[in-house]
Amino acid sequence: MRAVEEAAYAEGDLRRARTLARGGHVGGISVTGGRMVAAVADGLGGGGRDHGLFTVDCRLPVLDDQGRAALVEVVAAEAGRIGSLLAGDLPHSLVEHADEAGVELLPYGTELEATCTCVGWLDPCPHALALLSQVAWLVDADPLVLLHLRGLPRDDLLARLHARTVSIAEPDDDLEAAALDTAADAAARAARLLEVIDADDVAPIDHLL
């Protein structure tokens, strides 16, 4: 909502946008990486040139590969974070730590771009602000929508977290080789110990232990 307010040219545009959004004038919203698209019905102009059904296309920069990888690491840094996200909560510490890692998760007004089929010359126009307001409410209910907009959809996030967990769980090749050598040495000592015990002449075996 802060970004929406920063992007607006006038308070009147914001009020009109909120009226449209709260009045159910924003249709189904299509959310993809970096884009929000919806139809907005505007009958508030009293039948003027701004009256009708308009298509709004809003855009937000997505994270690059390095940014997405850093965000996954931030989410994985604390065990409860992914659970909070899935439950509809965006931990403040996650946003702070992401920012420290060079990942600006929350958008700024200057990042938001929009086009609309209305005749208005403002960017964003009230119709675009209505769509952005509606998306802000969606993000408030489900922060994974914000990650999706930033280029990290839910399934991709979960897959990356799973791959990271599997990678950490797999033993290092050198450590695995060392463990095998230790096991082989222990097996050889055990076999030699059994040979000594089974022999007729039982010699002291302290040196084998």
State the chain's maximal CA–CA distance in angstroms. Answer: 112
Q: How far is residue 42 from each of residues 83, 114, 128, 172, 204, measured CA to CA in Å?
A: 39, 17, 11, 61, 98
What is the H or E stretch that residue 38 is in? strand 35-42
47 burial class (0-12, 13-18, 19+ CB within 10 angstroms)? exposed
For residues 94, 95, 100, 106, the Cα torsion angle rounded to the nearest 10 degrees is 150
- pTM comes to 0.75
**Is residue 36 within 8 Å of residue 138, measured between CB atoms?**
no
pLDDT of residue 179: 54
Q: What angle do CA 68, 98, 115 make, to 5 degrees?
A: 65
pLDDT tens for the 209 residues of the chain, in order: 999 999 999 999 999 999 999 999 999 999 999 999 999 998 765 444 557 899 999 999 999 999 999 999 999 998 889 999 999 999 999 999 999 999 999 999 999 999 999 987 888 999 999 999 999 999 999 999 999 999 999 999 999 998 888 776 555 555 555 555 565 555 555 556 556 555 555 444 444 44
